[in-house]
Chain A
């Protein structure tokens, strides 16, 4: 270590004129290029240390919703044949131009769900849902009715966020109440798609009151 320091010092002797020095960088500009970033650096390191534990009390809306998608995947059982094997990937389709950040999508893919790798896909239209296990229908999706029609009866967990998504035949609807994301489950729709929802999920959910059934939702 010591020789390196000495060598650096040896280079740092300014020429007699006093202007310019290390690699012809004027002293003041050098000071700015090195010292100021160093100040930022030290500050940021200090704050990294200061906030070692992070339990977020608040987070971006779609990051929370993405976390829900991962949790739903853990607490829903798909019928036999929905997956190729015990370790094959679980495919989450996001309808339309999705609101999820690329970083969040990649973060989802870095995690395992019940031993399965996660794959996030963007779906261009209702016809693409067949290959997915979960389909997320955001507010921006162009035609939610057609997506529900395309998924009805197939082993697909539909998750939406529009107001009457569950009533219209979606399996899970995310909704905001006092800035907290909650979820509503339509058990009839889950049964129709052959999905078994764990009691833990059901105990935390609001359940859709089934009146006449979701038939009206199928109309385009």
Chain B
């Protein structure tokens, strides 16, 4: 019954969306206005936008860098950022339910993972609440994404706090590059589907704009037990960008967006009112936000650049029954880079960030004080040296940061790259990075669990475990050592390997305090208070291999493998039985293979296989969580080009998944969904 209702709703929505797209198409197809019709004289006036400039510079970086290009995004048929990140070797990406994701880099994966920094056009997609990313709130029109740069390893010396294990940088195209119209509609039957429109144009001299709208909805998924979850969601988003290049020396950009989404959630919560002491909280949650960012770049000479950026974001989320919060962030940043001489260059910057969080808690989670504002100052400098012919490239820099809740932190780095041949290089680095405390760690009270007593005590019914945070929770820190090789082994085989050893200290842990009896609602319970501490240390090490082979002019294949080993132990002086709920759960082995095929003039295909190893049981002391079995799934996409304006994408995602689940959350115990095999179809129009 529920199913057929969902199906009919799907059909109605798809029909309406298709009708909207059909109507939105400009009736007189704007043929003849393309660059291809310009004369020689006109062509000599056109400035080209070369998106690859910065991407090429990244190839010289002494770090493990991976770039997803707009072509990769288009050809793989992905329509969401988490799905795109599945293509990046070395990232841990797990879907929890229809809207929630756990994504991390080099370990510590959780829905509330806090060691990877995500930037959208230079704006931090970060919440002060738990120092991580709400992936359900992060989206954009992927057609407008120019590239996604992923740096595995610490980036704290430039990006600051939270760039501990990796940085994901989502860079959208400038308005110049999106002057045409774009419309997309379609989707999968039980997975995402939606409609997206973009329109660009000229405004004032040397200026261009675009704006877009996107509406996505999804039906509820099943749990791996076969129960229909209530995790259906829909999200509406509009945004725009304006770019102005008034002179060759300076340009200005203004980016803004607004979104509003409704999400269903199912969460297992502790309670005193049932005999099993747990209950399922089904809620309709919301997540809305807006942001506006302005950036001005000035290049007084060919070798120097000054950039000033300011943005404001607001996030308003309600997880009913758990927490309602809203957060306002203001961020100012200035960077300056210049070449001292041909070989030496210096980059430095200053930043300020203010984050205000207001919360409305529940009996499960509450913040004390409920509202708080924190501010952070930082400055960084980075010195760059190259020998003649770029044979050796040395880089040293540091960031100094002050956060009013955790004090000073210094995050230095030293990197070296040596070129063996023009297209082969080895590199090594040593860096320190920190993760500043979140509000959850410094000022929250969380009800972990209600458990039966191990020994029956007359008159006392159960024990109630709570986590109380401490205001003196300090930054977690890490020292990382990395080395790697990157290059062309044959003229067609590009190969990359990176190895790392990360040493962590002062990681979050829970220390149990003295239990005491307390009366709640007329019954007496033992209260077991856990206190958030920095009692844990540990190490992770791993190897990431990836290779891409241009086998023939019509076939490009690639493969990657990631190994991750992690070990944690209490710090000296800490008790042995501390709770280690902050370290996440990660597969020891991950592997993938993909192929891009050009099957004739009209058909392009993409196929991929992904293997994710077993997620170990996190073994938190309170309640069983369990591990997640390994899985091997495939994705296939074909894009049929009807004309220069119309393409159809047909694909299958998660082939052979056998309704597996990908993650077992334990902090907020969302009920994980089984990821289904989904067949999708999209119609794209470029006009």
Contacts and interface: CB of A to CB of B under 8 A. Distances in A.
B40 A71 contact: yes
Contact of B39 (A37, A71, A111): A71
A149 interface: no
Interface in A86-143: 96-97, 102-104, 106-108, 110-111, 122-124, 142
A200 B208 CA distance: 32
Interface of B: 5, 8-9, 12-13, 16-17, 20, 23-24, 26, 30-31, 33-41, 43-50, 176-177, 179, 181, 183, 195, 197-202, 206, 208, 211, 213-215, 217, 234, 236, 238, 245, 248, 491-492, 550, 552-554, 556, 598, 604, 641, 643-645, 686
A54 B30 contact: yes
Contacts of B39: 71
A124 B553 contact: yes
Interface residues of A, number: 60
Contacts of B236: 32, 36
Contact of A107 (B12, B197, B644): B644
A54 B26 CA distance: 14
Given A40-B213, A47-B199, A97-B556, A64 B12 contact: no
A64 B177 contact: no
Contact of A61 (B48, B248, B491): B48
B17 A37 contact: yes
A51 B200 contact: yes
Q: Interface centre among B24, B35, B598, B641, by most A CB within 10 Å?
A: B35
Contacts of B195: 37, 40
Contacts of A179: 47-50
The 7 closest A-B pairs by CB, nearest first: A51-B201, A40-B213, A106-B644, A61-B48, A47-B199, A58-B176, A58-B47
Q: Interface centre among A23, A53, A66, A102, by most B CB within 10 Å?
A: A102
A50 interface: yes
Q: Interface centre among B43, B217, B248, by most A CB within 10 Å?
A: B43
Interface in A18-61: 23-25, 29, 32-34, 36-41, 43-45, 47-48, 50-51, 53-61
A34 B15 CA distance: 10
Contact of A64 (B43, B492, B686): B43
B45 A180 contact: yes
13 contacts: A29-B9, A33-B17, A41-B20, A44-B24, A44-B198, A44-B199, A59-B176, A64-B46, A67-B35, A68-B43, A102-B641, A108-B36, A180-B45
A68 B45 CA distance: 13
B46 A59 contact: yes
Nearest to B4: A24
B131 to A, nearest CB: 32
A38 B236 CA distance: 12
Given A44-B197, A180-B44, A23 B211 contact: no
A210 interface: no
Contacts of B211: 43, 47
A131 to B, nearest CB: 16
Contacts of B554: 122
B49 A61 contact: yes
Contact of A200 (B40, B179, B491): B40
A5 to B, nearest CB: 16
A182 interface: yes
A84 interface: no
B215 A36 contact: yes
Contacts of B49: 58-61, 179
A124 B36 contact: no
A70 interface: yes
B197 to A, nearest CB: 5
Given A41-B24, A41-B197, A142-B492, A57 B8 contact: no
B177 A60 contact: yes
A82 interface: no
B491 A57 contact: no
A86 B297 CA distance: 52
A7 to B, nearest CB: 17
Contacts of B643: 106, 110
B197 A180 contact: no
Given A44-B197, A75-B40, A200-B40, A33 B16 contact: yes
